[in-house]
Amino acid sequence: MIALRLVIDTNIVASAALKPDGLQRTVLLLANSKPATLYVSQAIMDEYREVLAHPKFAPTRTLQATRDPDDNRFLECADAARADYVVTANQRHFPKFWKKTKVITSRELISIVAPHLIT
């Protein structure tokens, strides 16, 4: 497996929390495994906490999508980390590239890192 520097959008973290068997959880597991390195700024960590503290993430609640206009924090972190990828489910909110960082989906990351996991 190749070394990767990753920044993960909150929608991937939220989806992983809601669908433990989904691709987004696999992305988080891969991002937290060597040789990948996950980069998170304080602003991103604050957003993760805020979103995941919402009552809809309790086991008895259903998903209701939210939207955050502050997606720039992911590009800022990717720039500082010189990340290879920003992984998001909302590609339309981001440019295809930010400097040398490519914006991709969970499926794209898995097809790059572990294509045998795609069914």
Segment 66-119, tens digit of pLDDT: 245 577 888 888 877 788 999 999 888 888 888 888 999 999 998 988 888 877
Please answer whether residues 5 and 99 qualify as being in contact, where contact means their C-beta atoms are separated by less than 8 angstroms: no
- What are the CB-based long-range contacts (under 8 Å, 24+) for 93-97? none
- Residue 108, token pair as written in the block: 């794209």
Range of the domain at 24: 4-117
| Predicted TM-score (pTM) of this structure | 0.59
Tally of structural domains, the chain:
1
And the tokens for 6?
A: 């990753």
User: Model confidence over 2-38: pLDDT tens digits?
Assistant: 788 999 999 999 998 888 778 998 999 889 888 889 9
The residues, ordered by sequence, that sit 6+ positions from 2 with a Cβ below 8 Å of its Cβ are: 35, 113
Using only C-alpha atoms, the chain has a radius of gyration, in whole angstroms, of 14
Distance of CA 100 to the CA centre of its chain: 17
